Amino acid sequence: MNQQTEKNLGLKTASRLDGIGVSKILQISARARELKAEGRPVIVLGAGEPDYPTPDTVKAAAQAAIEANDTHYTPLDGTPEMKQAVQQKFARENDLNFDIDEITVASGAKQILFNAFMATLQQGDEVIIPTPCWTSYEDIVGICEASVVAVPTRPENDFCLEAGDLEAAITPKTRWLLINSPGNPTGAVYSRESYRPILDVLNKYPRVWLLADDIYEHIVHDGFEFATPAAIEPELRSRILTVNGVSKAYAMTGWRIGYAAGPRELIRAMAVVQSQSTSCPSSISQAAAVAALNGPQDFLHERQQSFAERRDLVVDALNRIDGIECRSPRGAFYTFASCAGVLGRKTPAGDLIESDTDFCRLLLEQADVAVVPGSAFGLSPFFRISYATSKQELGEALDRIAQFTGDLSTE
């Protein structure tokens, strides 16, 4: 085959993938893995997953499902048992009553988001998302050929969306507002009271739907009471999709089970997307997720406490470092600290830090700690630490960050 022919056969990707790539977080993890393979003692604080194992009762349920030959296609968007477990979860924990046909189950909350946006968005449509936000939102909206309208939030407002900023961002093209509470990467949380003005704005714009990404529901600190919009404002329930999953609460990221509840027309349209992509979520993972949702829940509280201790450890250590400033987040397992104070400084090797991306790159290359720059989430100069790792590793990583930052020179 000559070169010309080879070129003609070259892959031309669809325009819907323009500008969309593997997330920066995965790129950092890949670089960290390379350095580890070279024998470097890299500590990765980039992962968005709890370090706990999946509970034994959940693993046993999966093993039982395999033994019972529960290994075939399941109904399209969830087994009856799984949907019932989700129905009971919403009733028990959120005071929300849904019919079974208002519930959908997919291979992760990410697929739920994908199904919802694929089913409802088209070119020209807009999705309002408070930023900084999880990196995947923009790309999922982009694959659906719609655009994100980023509404910046402020550290002094604990990174929560202000109603006035929301209203100013709404246009005739707005289809969705997406709110993630507790939020990745900032740990922002919305109480019933802080949701109120936002829901009041939505009440005025009946075309705009609300997607509440509640995936970190069970990781809240300082006695914060989790709230979800559909329970706060029943009037809006006909246009709210409440998204959740087992990944973060039950340390089940690899099982790939997410779920949602909302108006049945939307749920039906999402099932159409799923039917032509994955057919159904894994039968074994659904059996495991049923055990997680129906099983003992007391360990969630213990884990919450353990996460809060690690958060305090990280926040205290970061605030002792000259040039770094960190608020104490009230949810999820991330800190989002400013590194504004180190910009303009140089490493002993002579590398100038001009941005959060430089800071994170050099921290990895020269101090063997992987964290994610705020630019990946839409706000600089910040960096995200995932503290879902052992206190020992966190302590060592923070010592290295302090050493690296202390060695920077200002001239």
Which residue in 98, 114, 117, 134 binds ligand PLP (CB under 6 A)? 134
Q: How far apart are the first and last CA of the chain?
A: 57
CA distance 234 to 257: 26
**Residue 48 touches ligand PLP, criterion: CB under 6 A:** yes
| β-strand pairing of 174-180 with 147-152 | unpaired
CB of 44 to ligand PLP, least distance (A): 15
Instruction: Give Cα 295 to chain centroid, integer Å.
Output: 24
For residue 285, which of 89, 74, 102, 25 has the smallest C-alpha distance? Answer: 74
CB of 381 to ligand PLP, least distance (A): 22
Which residue in 130, 142, 229, 245 binds ligand PLP (CB under 6 A)? 245
CA distance 353 to 368: 17
Which residue in 247, 286, 347, 405 binds ligand PLP (CB under 6 A)? 247
**Residue 385 touches ligand PLP, criterion: CB under 6 A:** no
**Residue 214 touches ligand PLP, criterion: CB under 6 A:** no
**Residue 218 touches ligand PLP, criterion: CB under 6 A:** no
Nearer to ligand PLP, 133 or 367 (CB): 133
Which helix H or strand E contains 169, and what residues bound it? helix 163-169
Which residue in 79, 131, 184, 386 binds ligand PLP (CB under 6 A)? 184
Q: Which region among 108-116, 219-227, 310-318, 341-349 touches ligand PLP (by CB under 6 A)?
A: 108-116
CB atoms within 10 A of CB 33: 13
CA distance 394 to 33: 18
**Residue 213 touches ligand PLP, criterion: CB under 6 A:** yes
**Residue 109 touches ligand PLP, criterion: CB under 6 A:** yes
CB of 256 to ligand PLP, least distance (A): 7
Convert 11-29 to b/e letters by CB count within 10 Å (16 or more is b): eeeeeeeeeeeeebbeebb
338 bridge partner residues? 325, 382
CA distance 191 to 228: 8
Q: Which region among 104-112, 123-131, 259-267, 368-376 touches ligand PLP (by CB under 6 A)?
A: 104-112
CB of 207 to ligand PLP, least distance (A): 24
CA distance 345 to 381: 14
Q: Give, as ranges, the residues between 318 and 347 that touch ligand PLP (CB under 6 A).
A: none
Phi, psi of 81 (to 5 degrees): -65, -40
Q: State the angle between helix axes of 391-406 and 356-367 in degrees (0 to 180), rounded to the nearest 10.
A: 110
Nearer to ligand PLP, 98 or 259 (CB): 259
Nearer to ligand PLP, 281 or 323 (CB): 281
**Residue 215 touches ligand PLP, criterion: CB under 6 A:** yes
CB of 368 to ligand PLP, least distance (A): 24
**Residue 180 touches ligand PLP, criterion: CB under 6 A:** yes
CA distance 54 to 246: 10
Nearer to ligand PLP, 181 or 357 (CB): 181
Nearer to ligand PLP, 270 or 317 (CB): 270
**Residue 186 touches ligand PLP, criterion: CB under 6 A:** no
**Residue 258 touches ligand PLP, criterion: CB under 6 A:** yes
**Residue 50 touches ligand PLP, criterion: CB under 6 A:** no
Q: Which region among 195-203, 245-253, 295-303, 374-382 touches ligand PLP (by CB under 6 A)?
A: 245-253
CB 183 within 8 A of CB 216: yes
Assigned token pair, 345: 């400084």
Nearer to ligand PLP, 27 or 253 (CB): 253
CA distance 151 to 395: 35
DSSP string covering 290-309: HHHHHS--HHHHHHHHHHHH
Cβ-proximal residue to ligand PLP, closest one: 108
Q: State the angle between helix axes of 356-367 and 24-37 in degrees (0 to 180), rounded to the nearest 10.
A: 20
DSSP state of 112: H
* Residues engaged in binding ligand PLP (CB under 6 A): 48, 108-110, 134, 180, 184, 213, 215, 245, 247, 253, 258
